[in-house]
Amino acid sequence: MSIKGKAAAIGVGELKPLKEPGDHTALGLMAEVTAEAIADAGLDKKDIDGFLVGVPFSDPGFIYPASAAEVLGLHLKMLNQVDIGGASPAGMIWRAAAAIDAGMCNAVLCLVADLNRGGDQRPPTVSVMREFEAPYGNIGANCGYAMIAHRHMFEYGTKPEHMAKVAVDQRANALKNPLATFNDKPLTISDVLNSRMIVDPLHLFEIVSPVSGGAAVIVASPEIAKRAKHPPIWLLGAGEYCNHSSITYAPSLTESPIKIAADSAFKMAGLKPADMQLVCPYDCYTITVIVTLEDAGFCKKGQGGAFVAEHDLTYKGDFPCNTHGGQLSFGQPGLAGGMSHVTEMIRQLMGGGGERQVKNAALGYVNGNGGIMSEQVGLVMERRS
C-alpha cells in the first residue's frame, strides 16, 4: 500500500518575490496565488475541499488554517498547518496525496506566503534552544550550515570553489526566469568568493536573501486531474525523515536525514536517482545542495563538491538542477522559498519552463529541507506520456 500515483499536482500560482513588502499583507498574497493556482488548474474555487497552509512569520496566529480559509472563502473537508520548516511545502504535497488517497478530500490547496520586514521575525524558539544554543550565539540558520560546510571540507576536501559553483550555475538558470529576484546579471566563482564573508566559510552570495512573496499548488485526485487544463504531474514517491533539531545533536554533520527520506521516495516510485531528468534540491546555502546530491544518491558521499564542479547544473547542462535559479537567485519569501522547488518541478514537467525548459523532462526529484538539515522530504514526480 502506498500513495504512488494516487494524486497529481495540477495547478501552480507563484508571485515574483518583492524586495520591499510595501502595503501587501500575507493574507492578500495568499489570495493572489490561490486565484492563480485555481485558474492554472482550470478548476473553480468550490472544487477545493482540502487545505494545507504554512503559518507566515509576519502574521502568525492560533488556529491559523481556519482563519486563512475563512478569508479565502473555502469550505473544507480537511485542513491543517504544516510546520516542518523549509520542508513544509514539499511535505504538503505528500500529505495532500495521502488525504486524497484516504478518501478525505479531492482537491487540496497547498499554500504559503509571507512578508519580509527585515530583522529576524522568527517566533521564539522552544526553551531548550533558548537555554543551550542562544547564549553562545547559535541564532538563525547561517551558523549551523557554516559548521556543516567546515566539517564537510575537513572530512572530504570540499573546496570553497565547489560551493561557489552551485551559486554560479543557479544564477545562469535565474537569468531565464522572469520571476527570479536576481536575474539581471551572471555570477562568477570569483564574484561569490569575493563577496563578504558572513559566517566562515560561507560568503554573502552563498546565502539566501529574504524577500516577500507566496506560492500555491493544487494537488488533486485522478478524477479531478482528468479535467485539468495542463498535463497532471503525478506524485510517484515520497519520503520524510528527521533525526534532530539543532545541528549540534544530529548524528552526523555531513550525512543528513535526506538519505532515508530520498531512499523512501525512490523506493516507493520504483526508480533510482539516475532515472531523474531534473533535480530541485532545497538550497538555503550552497553547501545544502552538495550534501543533498550526495545523500539523495546522485553522487557518492563526499564527492558532492567535485560533482557540482564537473557537471553543468544549468537547464541546458548534463545535470539540470534548480532551473528556476534556486532560492539563492529566486529569493526566499519565507516558506514560499521552499515551494519554489516544487513549482519549478511541476512547471518543467508540464512543459511550461519557457526559455529554460529542460528538454524531454518527464521525471524529477524534489528535496525539501527544514531547519538546520533537520526535517527532510523527498518527492519523485512524473509526467505520464
Partner 1 sequence: MSEYTKPLPKPSPTSRPFWEAARRHELMLQRCGACGQFVYYPRDRCPYCFADDLNWERASGLGKVYSYTVVYRASSRHFMDPYVLAIVELDEGPKMTTNIVADPKQVHVDMPVTVYFDDVTPDRTLVKFKPAQSTY
Q: Which of 7, 29, 168, 247 binds partner 1 (CB under 8 A)?
A: 247
| CA 54 – CA 337 distance, rounded (Å) | 12
Q: Which of 199, 236, 238, 363 binds partner 1 (CB under 8 A)?
A: 199
- In sequence order, what DSSP letters do the residues of 41-93 get, joined into one string? HT--GGG--EEEEPPPTTS--TTHHHHHHHHHT---SEEEE--BTBTHHHHHH
HSE toward the beta carbon, residue 337, CA cutoff 13 A: 30
Residue 137 as a binder of partner 1 (CB under 8 A): the answer is: yes
| CA 165 – CA 309 distance, rounded (Å) | 6
Q: Which of 70, 134, 188, 226 binds partner 1 (CB under 8 A)?
A: 134
Q: Find the shortest distance in angstroms from Cβ 78 to partner 1.
A: 33
Q: Find the shortest distance in angstroms from Cβ 286 to partner 1.
A: 14
Residue 157 as a binder of partner 1 (CB under 8 A): the answer is: no
Peptide bond preceding 201 in cis form (omega within 30 of 0): yes
Residue 211 as a binder of partner 1 (CB under 8 A): the answer is: no
Comparison of 22 and 251: residue with beta carbon closer to partner 1: 251
DSSP state of 201: T
Instruction: Mark the segment that binds partner 1 (CB under 8 A) among 72-80, 129-137, 228-236, 299-307.
Output: 129-137
Instruction: Mark the segment that binds partner 1 (CB under 8 A) among 78-86, 95-103, 191-199, 232-240.
Output: 191-199
Binding mask 319-348 for partner 1 (x = CB under 8 A): ------------------------------
Distances (CA, A) of 61 to 10, 27, 58, 241: 29, 12, 10, 27
- Identity of residue 30: M
Residue 128 as a binder of partner 1 (CB under 8 A): the answer is: yes
- Identity of residue 358: V
Residue 100 as a binder of partner 1 (CB under 8 A): the answer is: no
Q: Is 192 left (phi over 0), alpha (psi -120 to 50) or beta?
A: alpha
Q: Which of 249, 270, 354, 384 binds partner 1 (CB under 8 A)?
A: 249
Comparison of 75 and 130: residue with beta carbon closer to partner 1: 130
Burial (0-12, 13-18, 19+ Cβ within 10 Å), 77 = middle
Q: Find the shortest distance in angstroms from Cβ 285 to partner 1.
A: 12
Q: Which residues are near partner 1 by CB under 8 A?
A: 120, 127-128, 130-143, 146-148, 150-151, 153-154, 196-202, 246-249, 253
